[in-house]
Amino acid sequence: MKVLFIYPDIITRMINFCPAVQLLSAVLKREGHGTSLLHINNDYGIKYDKNTIVGLSEGFDLFALTATSFNYKYANEIAGWLRDAYPSVLRVLGGSHATIRPEDLNNSNFDVFCIGEGDETMAELCGALREGRDWRNIPNLGTRFGTNIKRGFFRDLNRLPFWDFDIIDTPKILEKRNGFLSISFSRGCPYECTFCVNHLYKKIEIGDNDKMSDYLRRRVPGLAIEELSQLARKFKVKVFNIDDDLLTMNKKWMREFADGFRKEIYEPLGIMYIINARADTLTDDIVKMLSESGCKEARIGFETGNEEVRNELLLKKTSDDALAKAFKTLDNYGVQGVAFAMMGIPGESWDTFFDTINAVVRFQPKLIRMTFLFPYKYTRIYDVCVEQGLLKEGYDAEDNRDLRSPLKFEQLTDKEIFCFRFLFPWYVNAWWMDDSNYSNAIHEFTELSLSELEDSIPKIIAKDTELSNNCFYPHYRYFKHNIDYFALDDNIKNTIQN
């Protein structure tokens, strides 16, 4: 079989790796199939253009597309182009959208949705097509015939091959991403955060006889180090971006991994790594071990500074004290603490906004990634938004997802919530240092209309550079002119000669 993967990577400002394609490609190659990829990216890949995509899709036996709900409309449109050009070639959609919204199949341009984990499913589908067998009852395949036999989750990740980094243009992506190579070694999550799709996956993948304790799966540390070592010697990697959420939960695993990384990669090659972690797992001994093994930064989701909203509405189950301790411990050992925060959570107000400002001042993370909350359909937070009538009309179209919140707020205007997110570091600095320069800048831009603000992003960044260059105290600034990241500039300037 000749399988063409298609990845519509066109909703972010950067080109990205594609874990699903890279792993499935490795699985199919091991089974003797051929794989190729159309990496759709208007700036750095193949243009989102009908004639180009159709022309490059000739001669394949299966089209396999992947999509989240945010890029589903692009994947579906591409599938329509392929249906018209190559009607006899099966079109299958995988990724989170197919899993959490299988009912969309009947109104889509796809023949099949892969619902749940697709490692075994895609291998069986390709085998059946190659041998001319009926494929319609393969577990995890949602078809127009209504069949969908659940397979459950793939238990032993050690049986999977290493990711296929040759199917994508890894050297180009590394160049554009400053040497950051993304990879992961685990699946599953035992937590129930209301904004995450994990609890939807559980409904599909956890069978009646399965234990929740088995759902969080990891490769053994030795295989993880072996794969990283091969990649480090093949590509110009500067930092390994390890995307797993919960590796630090298992201290034994983390110790073995850190020891192997230090010996095999950090000490001989100088390559560092980045992890995600929950605050309550970052004990003193774990952070010391991370630091000594080459961990450059640890990213923690604190979401909001309002502890009640974080733990009762979002079910994050992380206290302010645990967050403060985690960021302090990271700082003590020279590991950069990065905070993931969200603006526009149901019930957002000036009070919750200032709670988040106060939390940032208390925690002082080195970097903040700020987003709007975008509730995936059928998640618990989505249900809350529906029940309270918070979703704006046309939300499902996912338009303007970068610049506008999809929610309505009783106490806030769209312009105020825009300023909360995109002028956030200025509010922090004005509150933290009582700095009139930042207060004046806030006033200058909040005088604009919402549409004027949305067109003023370059001016906001330019103004921030000016303010930061004239600030002689620790403060937050836009990170490398990126509107979504705020960095703590704590290199206090020499003020004696001024």
What CATH code is carried by the domain that includes residue 138? 3.40.50.2300
Q: Is residue 156 part of a domain?
A: no
Would you tell me how many other CB atoms lie within 10 Å of the CB of residue 73?
Answer: 17
Task: Please say if the pLDDT value at position 401 is more than 80.
Answer: no
Number of domains in the chain: 2
Indicate whether 71 and 112 sit together in one domain.
yes
Indicate whether 109 and 193 sit together in one domain.
no
Indicate whether 142 and 283 sit together in one domain.
no
Domain boundary among 122, 150, 178: 150
How confident is the model at residue 171, as a pLDDT? 97
Indicate whether 226 and 335 sit together in one domain.
yes
Indicate whether 344 and 289 sit together in one domain.
yes
Indicate whether 183 and 117 sit together in one domain.
no
Indicate whether 311 and 415 sit together in one domain.
yes
What percent of the chain shows pLDDT beyond 70?
95
Measured distance CA(341)–CA(397) in Å, rounded:
24
Q: Is residue 478 part of a domain?
A: no
Task: Please say if the pLDDT value at position 397 is more than 50.
Answer: no
Q: Is residue 116 part of a domain?
A: yes
Q: Is residue 479 part of a domain?
A: no
How confident is the model at residue 445, as a pLDDT? 97
Measured distance CA(366)–CA(322) in Å, rounded:
17
CATH number at residue 178: 3.20.20.70
Domain boundary among 150, 180, 202: 150
Mean pLDDT for 200-209 is: 67
Q: Is residue 398 part of a domain?
A: yes
Mean pLDDT for 159-187 is: 96
Range with lowest mean pLDDT among 73-87, 352-366, 456-470, 484-498 = 484-498
Q: Is residue 440 part of a domain?
A: no
How confident is the model at residue 493, as a pLDDT? 41
Indicate whether 265 and 136 sit together in one domain.
no
Residue-wise pLDDT for 8-32, tens only, equals 998 877 899 999 999 999 999 999 9
**218 Cβ neighbours under 8 A, 6+ residues apart:** 157, 185, 186, 244, 247, 250, 253
Task: Please say if the pLDDT value at position 208 is more than 70.
Answer: no
Indicate whether 247 and 394 sit together in one domain.
yes
Contact between 271 and 240 under an 8 Å Cβ cutoff? The reply is: yes
Mean pLDDT for 223-243 is: 97
Q: Estimate to the nearest angstrom the gap between the alpha carbon of 379 and the chain centroid.
A: 16
Residue 116: is it exposed, middle or buried by C-beta count within 10 angstroms (0-12/13-18/19+)?
A: buried
Would you tell me how many other CB atoms lie within 10 Å of the CB of residue 82?
Answer: 23
Indicate whether 146 and 188 sit together in one domain.
no
Indicate whether 346 and 307 sit together in one domain.
yes
pTM of the model: 0.91
For β-strands 141-143 and 112-114, DSSP reports them as: antiparallel
The domain containing residue 406 runs over which residues? 170-422
Give residue 146's pLDDT band: very low, low, confident or very high (50, 70, 90): low
Task: Please say if the pLDDT value at position 398 is more than 90.
Answer: no
Indicate whether 118 and 236 sit together in one domain.
no
How confident is the model at residue 387, as a pLDDT? 95
Domain boundary among 375, 394, 422: 422
